[in-house]
Amino acid sequence: MSKMMKRGILMLLLLISVSAGIIYYTIDLEALKTIRSFNAVSLLLALLALTLGMYFDGLRLQRLVKIGGYKLSIQAVLRVIFSNYFMAMLTPGASGGAVAQVLVLKSYGVPLGKGTPIVLIRTVFSIMFLVVMLPFVFLHDAIEIPYISRNMLLVFAVVAVIATLLGTYILQTKYMRQFVYRLAKYFKVDKTKDWLSKLETLNQGLGLLYKKPGQSIVVFFESGLSLLCLYCIAPALMYAFTSDIHIIDVLDRMILLNLILYFAPTPGGTGIAEGLFVVLFGPFVPAGTVGIVAVAWRVVAEYLPFFIGMYAVLTLYGRQFVAQETSHEQ
């Protein structure tokens, strides 16, 4: 059995265990009455939100690739997007998603040297959008975190935005290169070149943005639209149990939750995502149903794209493998 197959089986068992645990510890007898009034339209709305999110994600990917001087077919765009979901779910911090995207782009004619900065900037734009939205989240939503006041949260959010914007400039200066060199020498002397190479890759990605600033701004807004559509999956599923949904409040908390998940140590954020969802959205749905909504959200937003991505990746490299074997036989 291959390493990927073993990891996939372990991931499946983890997903089932976490989902069952979340539902078991949050459901009660009163919730069973609410479940009977389940509104199936919510599933259609959730799938619509997922489709729109993928659509805008595809638009920004095509635009970034075009800025880099290449073109992608719709099939290639879908494979890149879903391969990200597939490998991100199998690796801590979703780190494998970037690798998968670069490899699939290479399969469609985009060299590694061009594909890597494209994928990196795609991720950077997503994080930048979430960071920029943080001050609005804390201004609008009275999210309570133990021992931290709302004013402190707001100050942190504003500082994060300023640091992010300044960082995009500082990264390209010689001072940053000198800093990375010294830092690499201090921690890992034998990997200094690797650290500098990663900095250079990031700067290449930023160079793409400066190449066509107008198009880059469009990509940023497409990133935001994609994320907001995907975050609408949660309120769509809440509609199954209640029509009293404060969608802006839900989106606020989805932004905070997903920003945290970018740094989650577990594969695909499994366990952390469901737990945070229960904590943040318990007050938004009838008692005892938040666990069901949390699991449904993960199924639609992550697990469904994961299995589509598994098919996309395995069929792509399966065909390549067969082609190579055939050429060897000839």
**Domain boundary assignment for the chain:** 3-329
Does pTM top 0.85 for this prediction?
Answer: no
pLDDT-based confidence at 304, cuts 50/70/90?
A: very high
**pLDDT tens-digit series, residues 1-50:** 556 666 667 777 877 888 888 877 887 666 666 666 778 899 999 999 99
**pLDDT tens-digit series, residues 133-165:** 888 888 887 776 665 666 777 777 788 778 777
Three-state SS string across the chain, please? CCHHHHHHHHHHHHHHHHHHHHHHHHCCHHHHHHHCCCCCHHHHHHHHHHHHHHHHHHHHHHHHHHHCCCCCCHHHHHHHHHHHHHHHHHCECCHHHHHHHHHHHHHCCCCHHHHHHHHHHHHHHHHHHHHHHHHHHHHHCCCCECCECHHHHHHHHHHHHHHHHHHHHHCCCHHHHHHHHHHHHHHCHHHHHHHHHHHHHHHHHHHHHHHCHHHHHHHHHHHHHHHHHHHCHHHHHHCCCCCCCCHHHHHHHHHHHHHHHCCCCCECCCCHHHHHHHHHHHHHCCCCCHHHHHHHHHHHHHHHHHHHHHHHHHHHHHHHHHHHHHHHHC
pLDDT-based confidence at 224, cuts 50/70/90?
A: very high
**pLDDT tens-digit series, residues 154-213:** 777 788 778 777 776 776 677 677 776 677 666 665 666 666 666 676 667 667 767 788
